[in-house]
Amino acid sequence: MKKILFVAALFAGSLSMNAQDILVRKGGDVENVKVLEITPTEVKFKKFNNQNGPTFTERRSNLISVKFENGEVQKFNDAPGSLLTATGEGMAYYSGYGKDKRFTNEVSLYIANVWGVGYQLRREFNPYIAWNIVGVSYISNFDDPSEMFTLNIRALGARGYTPSWKWIRGYADLNLGLGVNYYHYDWDFNFGLDFGVGVNVHKKIAIGYNLNYVASGGTGHMAKISFLF
């Protein structure tokens, strides 16, 4: 009789351990819960070890999936309300723009018959729209950088993105500000702008074309490779 009770207790304990739902978050965190409700934007649940306690809410955009006690899995590859329709890792990463990822730092290298380096701070509002808060770039020739160069300071700009396919998505941006030309000890301050188009080939790398215009210094056409973080 004792053996029967012991086996029954083990069986009940096994059922209890399996009668739980599992939340998997994008950061890799896994939590045992009891899911109460899934709405178009949120998942409501209780802690599995405290089902008489408070009800918690998690945004669907923060989750990868929920595994229910019956073994069924619901995946949240695309949070409702997102503008993205593609699938895959890139979609999940870019869907966090404006929520988990609000700012992007971009360090760039410009190459043509001249060369240059640049930096830009960008505020991401959602997967399609960003505000280029501030940027600066240094453009010079290869022969004598100390004798002639252009310093661009950009304080007003915007960027738009295309839908993504995996990590790949296109972009176009326009930035306005000040262009400072230096030529043999003479400084010239003028209106300047940058126009660029390109492609994110990875979440941390983009390649493209950049047009740099300074009112008194002409127009420069350059290839551009950027590193994002």
Here the CATH number for the domain that contains residue 194 is: 2.40.160.20
Task: Give the count of domains, the chain.
Answer: 2
Report helix, strand or coil for 17: helix
pLDDT of residue 130: 96
Minimum mean pLDDT range among 87-91, 114-118, 137-141, 146-150 = 87-91
75 and 152 together in one domain:
no
pLDDT of residue 90: 52
83 and 109 together in one domain:
no
111 and 224 together in one domain:
yes
At 76, which CATH number?
Answer: 2.30.30
Q: Say whether pLDDT at 84 is over 70.
A: no
pLDDT of residue 11: 43
Minimum mean pLDDT range among 12-16, 124-128, 153-157 = 12-16
pLDDT interval class at 85 (50, 70, 90): very low
Domain end call among 94, 128, 155: 94
pLDDT of residue 13: 47
- pTM score, whole prediction: 0.60
Domain end call among 41, 66, 94: 94
pLDDT interval class at 77 (50, 70, 90): low
120 and 204 together in one domain:
yes
Report helix, strand or coil for 71: coil
Q: Say whether pLDDT at 6 is over 70.
A: no
Residue 27 lies in a domain: yes
Residue 14 lies in a domain: no
Residue 15 lies in a domain: no
pLDDT of residue 61: 86
Minimum mean pLDDT range among 72-81, 170-179, 187-196 = 72-81
Q: Where are the beta strands (DSSP E) in the chain?
A: 21-25, 30-38, 42-47, 56-59, 63-67, 73-75, 103-111, 114-124, 129-141, 148-161, 169-183, 186-202, 205-214, 218-228
Percent of the chain with pLDDT over 90: 43
122 and 217 together in one domain:
yes
131 and 215 together in one domain:
yes
H or E element: which one contains 48? none
Residue 122 lies in a domain: yes
pLDDT of residue 146: 66
Cβ-in-10-Å burial (0-12, 13-18, 19+) of 150 comes to buried
What is the token pair recorded at 141?
């020739």
Which structural domain range is residue 82 located in?
A: 21-94
48 and 144 together in one domain:
no
Mean pLDDT, residues 161-189: 88
114 and 211 together in one domain:
yes
Q: Say whether pLDDT at 8 is over 80.
A: no
139 and 222 together in one domain:
yes
pLDDT of residue 1: 53
CA distance linking residue 69 with residue 36, whole number of Å:
12
CA atoms within 13 A on the CB side of 141: 8
pLDDT of residue 91: 54
190 and 80 together in one domain:
no
61 and 171 together in one domain:
no
158 and 81 together in one domain:
no
Domain end call among 60, 94, 128: 94
Residue 167 lies in a domain: yes
Q: Say whether pLDDT at 131 is over 50.
A: yes
